[in-house]
Amino acid sequence: MSLTTTGNLSLNRKAGAATSPSKTGVNPIPGIKQAIKIAPEEIKLLSQYIYGVSGINIEPSKAYLLETRLGKLLERERCNSYTEFYHKAKSDGSKLLEKQIIDAITTNETLFFRDANPFELLKHKIIPEVVDSRTSSTPKGMPVPVRIWSAACSTGQEIFSIAIVLKELLVSLDKYNIKLMGSDISDAAIKQASYGTYNKFEIERGLPRERLQRYFTSIGDNWKIKDDIRSMATFRKFNLMGPFSGLGKFDIIFCRNVAIYFKLEDRVKVFEKIADSLENDGYLIIGSTESLTGVCPRFIPKRHLKSIFYQLR
Amino acid sequence: MQVLKILVVDDDPVTRSLLKKRLSKLDYEVETAESGVDAIRMISNTYYDVVLTDLMMPGGIDGIGVLETAKESSLKTEVILITAHGSIDNAIVAMKKGATDYLQKPINLDELVLRLAKIQNLKHLMKNASDLRVAMDVTEQASGETIQTLELAVADLEERLASIRSILTQSGVPPEDRIGKALAR
């Protein structure tokens, strides 16, 4: 999950023909319906609602996100104002609308091997070290456990990139007991991750042709991850704001570009819980522009070549 | 907007020259191939934004063959197939293999131009998106380097401060000695 608009340009999503691109509200184009505007008091109402269900913090300066991301849902629900929309979402016992709001408000901008550095780090340092230490603590003949969590896996690109690295590095995987878990707050993202199917825009960058051909099957204009990679990962819906009970411990946690959407106080709580979920000698990788300074003193940053990773003190 | 580079593939010389003439007039950059074999050779040498190919062609390589080569050479190439009237089934096969669109003979030029305009729009959006991604990558990389350097520097300073604190609070050592040791850190 990270913030850019490219996800919304995804061309396989049919743009609602009735959605007006006009933001100003002046010069309405005859015959084209105007988008419903959000009022200042509604910004507060919706922001608080979204914070409550997802922990995502929408600053007043980013209020336009509410219009650009929720506008289509509003029309589909045939609501005439954001207030009406809010009440509809609140009173929906099935929580279906709540899910759709979370899907719409979260950013699913992600790529295979997004930012090559963490994957180089994984390949050349972290995996060898984890395998080494787990091998020595595992009885001979038993599969060596390696547990990795992608804490905001979006549509699965990160965890499948990790799976590809493992496959290329460890060769005979049956000597290992590998657990790759991807979680995200968006049902729609988890669903797509589970299918493992991507359109050509989603695989265009980050994946060289040979990897694409080795690990994907083409289906028309789409690409589906092959079963041997797909079956390495499991996916579940998970809200980082909630308790982490029952999650177990991990050797490696990827938590990239998700905490940036949270308030500082929530970031502190999330990384505390992540620290509790990490093995004592485990590794944490955060986004390249994120920092844990002033967030979680239990972690110390360490450098390996061009990347930083974190370990518990 | 960028000029679309189009390859027209048709074994009929009249269709070829007609399409070339009309599309060139609309400021598209047009090249032609008279067979599937010819087209495949050209596609392997040059990138085309759009390949407009007849489905049924003599000479061993038909429109599907051209489509497959085009898609293999570049995922960015859009392929429009021209099918005989009433052969929807073939068109569906082609669409499943990644064709962008199909037109039925006889070709309605207005329709073709509309489809090309749509593709051009799409390409334009894609270019915008890709430019944005590049801009994001560059910004992210530069800021990432700065942040990571600071992160390590702060961690190092924090450690030094902690050690200075513990030296200064040592018991049983005269204050001057403690300060001296602390300053040496």
**Per residue in A6-35, pLDDT tens?**
333 333 333 334 444 444 445 556 666 678
Closest residue by Cα to residue A201 from B76, B80, B50, B3: B76
Confidence (pLDDT) at A223: 93
Confidence (pLDDT) at A28: 55
Where do the H-state alpha helices sit in A106-156? 116-121, 127-137
Confidence (pLDDT) at A282: 98
Provide the token pair at A243: 């308790």
To the nearest whole Å, the CA of A39 is away from the closest chain B CA by 30
Spell out the SS3 assignment of B32-73: EECCHHHHHHHHHHCCCCEEEEECCCCCCCCHHHHHHHHHHH
- Interchain contact B65–A (C-beta under 8 A): no
- Interchain contact B74–A (C-beta under 8 A): no
Confidence (pLDDT) at A208: 86
Nearest by CB: B96 against A200, A220, A292: A220
CA distance A76 to A17: 12
**Per residue in B33-45, pLDDT tens?**
999 999 999 999 9
Going by their DSSP bridges, the two strands A222-225 and B5-9 should be labelled as unpaired
Amino acid at A163: A
Contact in structure between B15 and B53 (CB atoms under 8 Å): no
Q: Chain A partners of B154 at a C-beta cutoff of 8 Å?
A: 293
Task: Supply φ then ψ for residue B80, to 5 degrees.
Answer: -110, 130
Task: Supply φ then ψ for residue B23, to 5 degrees.
Answer: -75, -35
To the nearest whole Å, the CA of A3 is away from the closest chain B CA by 10
| More confident position, A31 or A301 | A301
Contact in structure between B26 and B3 (CB atoms under 8 Å): no
Using the predicted structure, report yes or no on whether residue A1 has a pLDDT greater than 50: no
Task: Note whether A221 contacts B98, CB cutoff 8 Å.
Answer: yes
A196 φ/ψ sector (left φ>0, alpha ψ -120 to 50, else beta): left
Provide the token pair at A68: 């650009």
Consecutive H or E run containing A144: strand A144-150
What end-to-end distance do the CA atoms of chain A give, in Å?
28
% of chain A exceeding 70 in pLDDT: 89
- In sequence order, the 6+-apart residues with CB closer than 8 A to the CB of A205 are A111, B130, B133
Closest residue on chain A to B72 (Cα):
A209
DSSP A258-312: SGGGS-HHHHHHHHHHHHHHEEEEEEEEE-TT---TTT-TTEEEEEETTEEEEEE
Q: Chain B partners of A216 at a C-beta cutoff of 8 Å?
A: none
- Residue B102: exposed, middle, or buried by beta-carbon count in 10 A (0-12, 13-18, 19+)? buried
Confidence (pLDDT) at A285: 98
- In sequence order, the 6+-apart residues with CB closer than 8 A to the CB of A233 are A156, A159, A160, A163, A180, A181, A182, A193
- In sequence order, the 6+-apart residues with CB closer than 8 A to the CB of B182 are B164, B167, B168
User: Tokens 């804490």, residue?
Assistant: A151
Domains for chain A: give ranges and CATH numbers.
6-105 (1.10.155.10), 116-312 (3.40.50.150)
Closest residue on chain B to A5 (Cα):
B129
Q: How many residues does chain B have?
A: 185
Contact in structure between A95 and A46 (CB atoms under 8 Å): no
% of chain B exceeding 90 in pLDDT: 69
Confidence (pLDDT) at A110: 78
Mean pLDDT of the B35-64 span: 94
Task: Note whether B98 contacts A291, CB cutoff 8 Å.
Answer: no
Nearest by CB: A293 against B95, B98, B151: B151
Q: What CATH code is assigned to B5-107? A: 3.40.50.2300
Going by their DSSP bridges, the two strands A222-225 and A216-219 should be labelled as antiparallel
Confidence (pLDDT) at A241: 96
Average pLDDT, rounded, for chain A: 88
Task: Note whether B154 contacts A293, CB cutoff 8 Å.
Answer: yes
**Per residue in A54-71, pLDDT tens?**
999 998 888 888 999 999
Contact in structure between B14 and B21 (CB atoms under 8 Å): no
**Per residue in A187-236, pLDDT tens?**
999 999 999 999 888 887 778 889 999 999 988 778 999 999 999 999 99
CA distance A141 to A128: 19
Q: Chain B partners of A9 at a C-beta cutoff of 8 Å?
A: 125-126, 128-129
Using the predicted structure, report yes or no on whether residue B29 has a pLDDT greater than 90: yes
pLDDT band at A100 (very low <50, low <70, confident <90, very high): very high
**Per residue in B62-118, pLDDT tens?**
999 999 999 989 888 999 999 987 778 888 888 888 899 999 989 999 999 999 999
Provide the token pair at A263: 């308030």
Confidence (pLDDT) at A207: 87
Cβ density class B1-37: b for 16+ within 10 Å, e for less: eeebbbbbbbbeeebbeebbeebeeeebebebbbbbe
Closest residue by Cα to residue A86 from A189, A94, A73, A239: A73
CA distance A308 to A256: 12
- Interchain contact B127–A (C-beta under 8 A): no
pLDDT band at A268 (very low <50, low <70, confident <90, very high): very high
Contact in structure between B61 and B40 (CB atoms under 8 Å): yes
